[in-house]
Each structure stands twice: as C-alpha cells, then as structure tokens.
C-alpha cells in the first residue's frame, strides 16, 4: 500500500528541505510542487511573457513539459533548470502564476498521477486541502515571517544570489498575502493537518518530529486496517 504525505506551509518555511530529507530517510519519492510553479514562471520569462498576464501565461502551458527527477532536478522542455528557477525574478513572480486556476489545474493533474502510483512526500501550499485531500499524513509547517526571511536570506547567500534581508522579507510578505488571498485553493491548513511550528527548531529536529508523526499515523492506519 502506498504512503502519501502532504507537507504544506508558507513560502520559505523549509518544506522542500524537510521533504527531501524525509523522503530519503523513509524511502519515499519527493515531489516539490513549488518547483513546478517556478518552472512555469521561468517559461514566461524565456518566452517574453509577463507573469502577471494571466491569459498569455496560461497559453504557454501547451508548451510546458515539466519533469521532476528522483534526485530533485527540475527539467523544463528537456533543459535542467534546477538552479535557474531559484533566481530572484522567478521568486518575485511565482505567486502570480500559482494563483491562476488554469495553471493549478494543469499541474495538479500531474501531481495526482504521481500520488496514484508512488509512495511520496509532496510539499506545497494546498496539498492537504486540495491536491491530495485524502493523504495519509498531513503536516502544516509554520514559522514567523522574520524567521523565514532570515532562512531564505542565508540560503540565497550560500547560493550566491544577491539580495538583502529587507528585500527577502518584503517578498515573503507579498507572497504570503497573494497565496492566502487567492480565490482558488488558497494557502491554509487542512482541518486534519498537524500544525508544526519550526521557528525555534533545527532542520534535524523538524525532520525527526515529522518522522515521528508519520510513523504514528502509519501505525494507526495499519491498526484500523487490521
């Protein structure tokens, strides 16, 4: 029986990092849905389309072949764009792309197919509420916007991405607002999500707690089946 774990939370809450480590530790496949939206955003720039132009952005979907590899690479139309999708101009515009219903439906269809066939940890913003409402385990990570900004700023520095802390903080505030106020599948925890505040936890501590939650839920599921 497949195991499906939904890991949600706001931007820069550490979802992808945690999901990647969890997947390796538990022998699951990691599906980074945020990377898929970033790939569509990048495609807009490559084709000279303003990401704020919903009609033109959605028209590009017919030319969007997005693949996620087991080693967490993102392939867009045959090109490895793993690093490119993390550029500032993509980060500044991805929430617009993610707010378009046509884009979400296009990518959600792909995400659900993966969940039908694999044991996965899928991270995003609406996995537990919309993409995979029947997920076996739902965890919603939270942290203060200041904590998240500091983490993202440090991450950018390590990757050689030139941004100030203030720029990162303002970007996250804007993304939080857009993500939580969009009409279709807004950012919010599912009613049966376990809320995990990571503000004062190390990555290792968060992974350990997520693993404990998952194993507890799996035990409950197996007991109910038995």
Binding residues for ATP: 9-17
Q: Enumerate the known binding-site residues.
A: 9-17
Among 186, 225, 218, CA closest to 121: 218
User: CA–CA separation, 141 vs 22, rounded Å?
Assistant: 14
The three-state (H, E, C) secondary structure of the chain, written as one string: CCCEEEEECCCCCCHHHHHHHHHHHHCCEEEEHHHHHHHHHHHHHHCCCCCCCHHHHHHHHHHCCEEECCCCCEEECCEECCCHHHCHHHHCCHHHHHCCHHHHHHHHHHHHHHHHHCCEEEEECCHHHHHCCCCCEEEEEECCHHHHHHHHHHHHHHCCCCCCHHHHHHHHHHHHHHHHHCCCCCCCCCCCCEEEECCCCCHHHHHHHHHHHHHHHHHHHHHHHC
Q: Look at strands 4-8 and 137-142 and give their pairing.
A: parallel
Using the structure block, give the residue that is written with the tokens 């537990």.
128
Using the structure block, give the residue that is written with the tokens 């720029």.
167
């Amino acid at each position: 029986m497949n195991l499906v774990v939904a890991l949600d939370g706001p931007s820069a809450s550490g979802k992808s990092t945690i999901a990647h480590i969890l997947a390796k530790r538990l022998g699951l496949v990691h599906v980074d849905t945020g990377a898929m939206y970033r790939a569509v955003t990048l495609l807009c720039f490559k084709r000279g389309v303003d990401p704020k132009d919903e009609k033109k952005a959605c028209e590009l979907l017919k030319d969007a072949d997005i693949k996620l590899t087991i080693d967490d690479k993102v392939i867009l139309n045959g090109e490895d764009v793993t690093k490119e999708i993390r550029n500032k101009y993509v980060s500044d515009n991805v929430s617009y792309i993610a707010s378009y219903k046509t884009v979400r439906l296009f990518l959600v269809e792909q995400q659900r197919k993966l969940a039908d066939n694999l044991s996965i940890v899928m991270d995003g913003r609406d996995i537990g509420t919309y993409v995979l409402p029947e997920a076996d385990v739902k965890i919603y990570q939270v942290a203060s916007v200041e904590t998240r900004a500091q983490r993202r700023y440090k991450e950018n520095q390590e990757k050689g991405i030139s941004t100030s802390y203030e720029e990162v903080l303002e970007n996250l505030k804007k993304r939080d607002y857009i993500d939580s106020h969009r009409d279709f599948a807004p950012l919010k925890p599912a009613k049966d999500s376990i809320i995990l505040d990571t503000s004062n936890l190390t990555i290792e501590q968060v992974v350990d707690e997520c693993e404990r939650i998952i194993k507890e839920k799996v035990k409950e599921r197996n007991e109910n089946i038995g």
